[in-house]
Structure 1
Amino acid sequence: MPERRLGIGTGVALYVGAVLGPGVLALPALAVRTAGPASVLSWALLCAMSVPVAAAFAALGARHPGRGGVASFVGLAIGSAARAVVGWWFYLAVPVGVVAGALAGARYVAGGAGTVPVAALLLVAALTANHAGLRATGRIQLALVGLLVALLVAGIVAAAPQAHPARFVPFAPHGPGSVLAATSTLYFGFAGWEAGTHLSADFAQPRRALPRVTGVTLIVVSALYLGVAAATVAVLGSAGGRSAVPLADLLARGLGSVAGPVTAAVAVLLSFGAINTYLASAGRLGTALAESRVLPGALARTPRRSLTLVAVPTGALLAVVAVAGLPLELLLRATSSCLAAVVVAGLAAAVVLLPRRSAVRRGAAAGAAGTTVVLLATGWLVLLPVAIAAAAIGYRRLAGRRAVARPQRDRAPRVSTSPR
């Protein structure tokens, strides 16, 4: 049984860490580059879409707490095959996502040749914290998220006097369609609600705690994201799209010479928080999938074994990045495609499992439609969850055949070779 030790504070810290990830370092520039000042609409749209998504997952987690998270909800609503597919989507998205998060933070802290080593240190630190247990992880996260929020608010407030409305003109230089294009990239920064569902069983009172944790997290994340997005355009203008780390430039305008160390601290806190929560979720999901024979059964014993399995492709992908230099945007969009698929499936499960006339159920249906549009906007990367789904179904069938064959071998009569 999982340890039921999460309170409201640590729960909020883990949820904020999952949603408010290191993408905020690079995403504002990518959004401005794609949609210009109209990118603030992309941020606002995704904040609005987060409300029904977060509410639906909180309702499902409160009713069906467990390690399996969204995959378990989908299994209850649709069936075991769908549970396997959704579980693999999330489980295999974690290595890509945490590498992308570590690189986004390390790029600012070190840059150049130091990016990969710093990213590796962040990953090792998060893995070590998770091996120490969720209670220790939650305490660390609570302290780090509190510091992170304070630094971001201080930077936005300090830069606000340099804002100018003229920088919002022309508002949509690349056309209205660019707003939708920007959302597919920005979605990486709004994924995380699905990660929190794997921690639902670790709350002492899920029915009471999850709605509160979700509500506070929505307010904190939306305020910070919209503040950073609006300040990036209002203070930096078009230069925000050319900046490698617009948040650093924004803080420099407001904080002066201390902006460098502050931004480095923010980068580390953002990266560690997201990596930490996703690894905690993957550890719990791995045990649930192993118990259902969707992953090797040896992982069913403890989340630590599942974390070990996640660490292998994570390290391999980081090595590929070091050698081949995969672009960060590709990793971000690949993660978004898998996590968007998880969210669509989870919201479809919410439509089946939640009370028919409830507002949360209607919101889940609307959220599923909106997230499907975001998923399709990832372009050819939509093939990634399709490929993973085929692999999950193939593994499930193979595991099923082995399970059937094993008892047959055990029951087979032994032929004696000894002389009569």
Structure 2
Amino acid sequence: MTRLPHRLERYREAAMTTTYLSVRQAAFIGVGSMVGAGIFALLGAAGEVAGAAVWLSFLIAGAVAALQGYSFARLGARYPSAGGLLEYVAKGFGDGHVTGVTAWLTYTANAIVTAMVAVSFGSYASDMFSGGSAGWAKFFAAFVIVAMTVVNVVGSTLVARAQTVIVYVVLGILVLFAVVTLTNMTPDLLAPSGYPPVRDIVSSVALTFFAFLGFGIITFTAKDLAQPSRQLPRAMFLALAIATVIYVAIAVGVFGTLTVGEVISSGGTALAVAAEPSLGTAGYWLMSITAIFATAGATNAGLYPAAGLSDRLAATGQFPPVMARTTGRASNGLLIQAAICLALALLFKLTAIASIGSAVALLIFILVTAAHFRVRADTGASVVMLILAVATAGVVLVTFVLTDLIHAPASMVTLLGVILVSIGLDVAWKRRRVYPASR
């Protein structure tokens, strides 16, 4: 009688084992979230600040992301939860105002990032179909946000599977593009004598860091790894290494093919323009079509967490219950985020959206690692590594604000507005929630 339960237990364990993700699978989830939309959207904007030294900016951004990745990997290994980054903040600071403000900032930052890739979609679609008209670029940006909101409401499994295939196709084409441009580039265009001051290069890291924001999604795979304490850090660093190599290679290839002025003037379509000298018109269209698929998929992925995030935060008391309710079949959390994305895409320039999004993300990552200090005894993280993670993110954020954002009053005011609104929403909601209960 004792052998049957033992066998059943072994079969149960074997079945569970087959559902685990490998290190490669977990890493590729992060790679798929990082590589694609960011590199299509950012080169022109980053070139305005860092010139031909954008490749250095990507390298520094990768190092900063790796330090954050160390912190996140330790937290994810200790607290494998569907709550992701907000779960870590709650573990460190409890369910008070710090966690609440971070939750609203995360919700807003996700909307900003999604709007950014939608604007990039608009740039490529307008260039392909209407000769680069600014009005049509806005129209296409709004169109992809609305279309992907509908897709998220419907919840098509086929679209999710197709998006996985698209990620592999995008990666393959980007590698081909990097190889072709590197073998045909003009090294003089990358001469250090033409680089801007170091502070400008550091300042541009806030823009290029935008392209690494997707690495945080790897923390959500911890619950699906057989040994998260060992596998999650490997997956995190493997994904960041792949993304950094691709970004640096593409930046060198683009700025080694085009002048800084040409990259800036081409805006969000810089990769397509850089492909044309080596691959001809076919190369231009290949990169443009790839960009449209990548940015449409990234817009879909950016909107996807809104419903689940709103549900979880409403359940824990961080968001009002209305955020978890539905209008018809659509989550209110999703609809509100889509509305914010539309407003950002229609009212702000691509560079401004990237600036605000990266600044907010850096602030969130600093808060997550600050929370990590309070639970370090549980995670076993190195104090030195955590200090470096906070310090590097802080230096990039402060340098960016003082050298670039301060000269863009609209973006500066919007950034401060996002922070103040997040604080106001948390305070107002928690007062409304607490005071009636105390009467």
Same fold? TM cut 0.5? yes
The residue number in structure 1 matching 2:52 is 37
Aligned to 2:304, the other structure's residue is in SS state: helix
Letter in 1 for 2:367: A
Letter in 1 for 2:118: A
The residue number in structure 2 matching 1:182 is 204
State how far apart, in whole Å, the 2-side matches of 1:89 and 1:122 are.
24
How big is each residue's C-alpha offset from its partner over 1:104-141, in whole Å with a ceiling of 9 and x where there is no partner? 12202223133233223332343344445596665333
| 1:106 equivalenced with 2:119 (yes/no) | no
The residue number in structure 1 matching 2:74 is 59
The residue number in structure 1 matching 2:109 is 93
How big is each residue's C-alpha offset from its partner over 1:336-373, in whole Å with a ceiling of 9 and x where there is no partner? 11111111111222233234895655323212111112
The residue number in structure 1 matching 2:421 is 391
How far residue 13 of structure 1 moved from its aligned partner, in angstroms, is 4.8
The residue number in structure 2 matching 1:369 is 391
The verdict on how the C-alpha distance between 1:136 and 1:362 changes in structure 2, with shifts beyond 3 A counting, is farther
The residue number in structure 2 matching 1:263 is 287
Equivalent positions of 1:123-272 (< 5 A) are 123-131=145-153, 138-197=160-219, 199-200=220-221, 203=224, 207=228, 210-238=232-260, 239-244=262-267, 245-272=269-296
The verdict on how the C-alpha distance between 1:40 and 1:201 changes in structure 2, with shifts beyond 3 A counting, is closer
134, 139, 144: which one pairs with 1:122? 144
TM-score by length of 2: 0.80
State how far apart, in whole Å, the 2-side matches of 1:190 and 1:369 are.
18
State how far apart, in whole Å, the 2-side matches of 1:125 and 1:214 are.
32
Deviates more, 1:338-347 or 1:245-254: 245-254
- Indicate if the aligned counterparts of 1:36 and 1:173 stay in contact, CA closer than 8 A: yes
How far residue 247 of structure 1 moved from its aligned partner, in angstroms, is 0.9
Letter in 1 for 2:119: L
How big is each residue's C-alpha offset from its partner over 1:131-163, in whole Å with a ceiling of 9 and x where there is no partner? 455966653332111000011111121222222
Letter in 2 for 1:306: G
| Matched length | 400
State how far apart, in whole Å, the 2-side matches of 1:402 and 1:33 are.
46
| 1:346 equivalenced with 2:346 (yes/no) | no
Letter in 2 for 1:30: A
State how far apart, in whole Å, the 2-side matches of 1:132 and 1:214 are.
31
The residue number in structure 2 matching 1:288 is 312
How far residue 405 of structure 1 moved from its aligned partner, in angstroms, is 4.5
- Indicate if the aligned counterparts of 1:38 and 1:179 stay in contact, CA closer than 8 A: yes
User: RMSD over aligned Cα, in angstroms?
Assistant: 3.1
- Indicate if the aligned counterparts of 1:160 and 1:231 stay in contact, CA closer than 8 A: yes
The residue number in structure 2 matching 1:412 is none
How far residue 87 of structure 1 moved from its aligned partner, in angstroms, is 0.8
Identity value in percent: 24
State how far apart, in whole Å, the 2-side matches of 1:148 and 1:63 are.
33
State how far apart, in whole Å, the 1-side matches of 2:232 and 2:302 are.
17
Aligned to 1:236, the other structure's residue is in SS state: coil
TM-score by length of 1: 0.83
The verdict on how the C-alpha distance between 1:13 and 1:308 changes in structure 2, with shifts beyond 3 A counting, is farther
Deviates more, 1:377-386 or 1:309-318: 377-386
Aligned to 1:191, the other structure's residue is in SS state: helix
State how far apart, in whole Å, the 2-side matches of 1:234 and 1:373 are.
29
- Indicate if the aligned counterparts of 1:70 and 1:86 stay in contact, CA closer than 8 A: no
The verdict on how the C-alpha distance between 1:49 and 1:138 changes in structure 2, with shifts beyond 3 A counting, is farther
Structure 1: unaligned runs, 5 residues or longer? 410-420
- Indicate if the aligned counterparts of 1:156 and 1:231 stay in contact, CA closer than 8 A: yes
The verdict on how the C-alpha distance between 1:119 and 1:13 changes in structure 2, with shifts beyond 3 A counting, is farther
How big is each residue's C-alpha offset from its partner over 1:71-126, in whole Å with a ceiling of 9 and x where there is no partner? 22112112321111111111012222211211112202223133233223332343
How far residue 201 of structure 1 moved from its aligned partner, in angstroms, is 7.1
- Indicate if the aligned counterparts of 2:62 and 2:244 stay in contact, CA closer than 8 A: yes
